[in-house]
């Protein structure tokens, strides 16, 4: 074998070795990318599971009970209004009964526009986080003030129940 043949063979071997190194580096990059993608997919799945669990808990423990009571109150107020409209069409109303009807209309409007934010206790962890990251106030002090104000307010659903019951007693003679 002459020198030219050896160089040619050596260059092929070097090329093969470089090609194998290139494939190995490419395989390693691909493997790292696949690991990263798999990690990100698992991370996203974990986040979604946590979000879903939080939603389910809030829905079942807060939203459904409050929504059920609110729905019952709205249905009862609407039924009373319907019965009054049917029974007293064209009749002259007295002062007390007229006032009660106006209060019933106002209550129906209030119930129709009531939201979960109006009726449910805030998620204090979220409020605290928001205060800590987006408020110039001292977060613990601001949170304590907000909780104190919340605890001092009346239970709106109970208040609506009482108001509706009183209106029904006032309007009962017309039903």
pLDDT higher than threshold 80 for residue 125: yes
Burial of 141 from C-beta contacts in 10 A (0-12 / 13-18 / 19+):
exposed
Q: Write the pLDDT tens digit of every residue in 36-88.
A: 888 888 888 888 888 888 888 888 888 899 999 999 999 999 999 998 887 76
pLDDT higher than threshold 90 for residue 24: no
Comparing CA positions, the residue from 67, 51, 157, 53 lying closest to residue 116 is 67
Contact 132, 139 (CB under 8 A): yes
Q: Structure pTM? A: 0.65
pLDDT higher than threshold 80 for residue 127: yes
Q: Write the pLDDT tens digit of every residue in 79-110.
A: 999 988 877 655 666 677 778 889 999 999 99
């Amino acid at each position: 074998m002459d020198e030219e043949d050896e160089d040619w063979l050596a260059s092929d071997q070097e090329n093969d070795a470089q090609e194998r190194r290139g494939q190995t580096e490419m395989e390693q990059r691909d493997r790292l990318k696949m690991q990263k993608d798999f990690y990100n997919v698992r991370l996203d799945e974990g986040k979604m599971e946590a979000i879903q669990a939080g939603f389910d808990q809030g829905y079942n423990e807060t939203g459904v009970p409050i929504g059920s009571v609110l729905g019952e109150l709205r249905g009862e107020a609407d039924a009373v209004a319907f019965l009054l409209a049917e029974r007293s069409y064209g009749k002259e109303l007295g002062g007390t009964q007229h006032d009660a009807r106006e209060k019933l209309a106002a209550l129906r409007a209030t119930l129709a526009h009531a939201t979960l934010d109006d009726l449910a206790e805030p998620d204090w962890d979220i409020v605290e986080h928001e205060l800590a990251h987006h408020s110039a106030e001292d977060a613990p002090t601001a949170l304590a003030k907000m909780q104190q104000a919340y605890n001092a307010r009346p239970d709106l659903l109970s208040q609506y129940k009482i108001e509706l019951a009183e209106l029904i007693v006032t309007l009962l003679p017309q039903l």
